Amino acid sequence: MRVLVVEDHLELARDIAEGLRDRGIATDVVHDGTTALEKGLLHPYDVIVLDRDLPGVHGDAVCATLRGRGAEGRILMLTAAAAIGDRVEGLNLGADDYLPKPFAFAELVARVNALARRTPVGPPLLVRGDLKLDRAARRATRAGLELSLTRKEIGVLEVLLVADGTVVSAEELLERVWDENADPFTRTVVVTLTRLRRKLGEPDLIETVVGAGYRMR
C-alpha cells in the first residue's frame, strides 16, 4: 500500500507519516494543495489523507480535481470542522471518508486500511497454487505453513500476485512498495526479492524476465 499525506501542520504531518511507516505503509508527505495535485495525479496512491484547510489550493479543490481527472486513490478528508454539513460537503466533493480533528491515530490507521481494501486492485485473498496471501491480515502461507515475511516482502508479493502473471518492473515495485525517499539506484528491490524467493521455497514461484522485471509463475 502507498499513501499520500497532505497536511500543512508540519508536526502533525510528520507524526502521521512516521506512524504509517512504522506499520509498513509506504508514505509520502506534502504540505500544500498545489503539490498534492501534482503527486496525486502522478502516482497511483491507494489512499490520500487530505487535510481540508490547506494553503494555496484548498483541500476541497484538491479533492474535486483529483476526482475529476480520474485519480483512483481513496480520499480520507481531515478537518477541524466537525459539523454534519461540513462532513456532507466533503463527501459530496468526492471524498470516500471523513475524519474530524482531533482524532485517535489508531482510528486513522483503521480508516486508511479500510479504504485501501475498497480500492479495486484484486480480491482480499490472493492465491497462486499452494501460496495464499491474506491482504487484510498481511499473512502469507504456502502449503498451509505460515511464512515469516517482512512488511516489504509482503508488499512485493502482493504486487506480483495482483499482477496475476504479467510482468512487473523493478521500478514499479519500488514505486508501489517503497515511498519517494527510496533511492531508485539501490539494489533494494533485488535484495528483497532474493530474500522473498528463499522464504517461499521450492519450486520457485517468481520468474525473472531479463530486461523487463518479475512475474509469478
Domain boundaries, given as residue ranges, for the chain: 2-118, 125-216
- pLDDT at residue 16 is higher than 70: yes
Which set of grid coordinates corresponds to residue 72?
483512483
Could you tell me if 17 and 59 are in contact, meaning their C-beta atoms sit under 8 angstroms apart? no
DSSP 3-state of 110: helix
pLDDT per residue over 101-152, tens digit each? 889 999 999 999 888 876 555 567 888 999 999 877 788 999 999 999 988 8
Please count the other Cβ atoms lying within 10 Å of the Cβ belonging to residue 169: 14
- Amino acid at residue number 138: R
CATH for 125-216 is: 1.10.10.10
Alpha-carbon distance values, 215 to 157, 158, 207 (Å): 10, 11, 5
pLDDT per residue over 94-115, tens digit each? 888 988 888 999 999 999 988 8
Alpha-carbon distance values, 175 to 29, 42, 129, 216 (Å): 15, 11, 27, 19
pLDDT value at residue 147: 94
The side-by-side arrangement of strands in the sheet containing 125-128 is 125-128, 131-134, 139-142, 145-146
Q: Which fold has domain 2-118?
A: Rossmann fold (3.40.50)
pLDDT value at residue 205: 92
Name which residue leads in pLDDT, 123 or 79: 79
- Strands (E) in the chain, as ranges, are 2-6, 26-30, 47-51, 74-79, 97-100, 125-128, 131-134, 139-142, 145-146, 206-209, 213-216
Could you tell me if 197 and 188 are in contact, meaning their C-beta atoms sit under 8 angstroms apart? no
- In the chain, the N- to C-terminal Cα span, in Å, equals 23
pLDDT value at residue 86: 64
pLDDT value at residue 155: 87
Sign of CA dihedral 104, 60, 96, 32: negative
Q: How big is the chain by its Cα radius of gyration, in Å? A: 18
Please count the other Cβ atoms lying within 10 Å of the Cβ belonging to residue 163: 18
- pLDDT at residue 82 is higher than 70: no
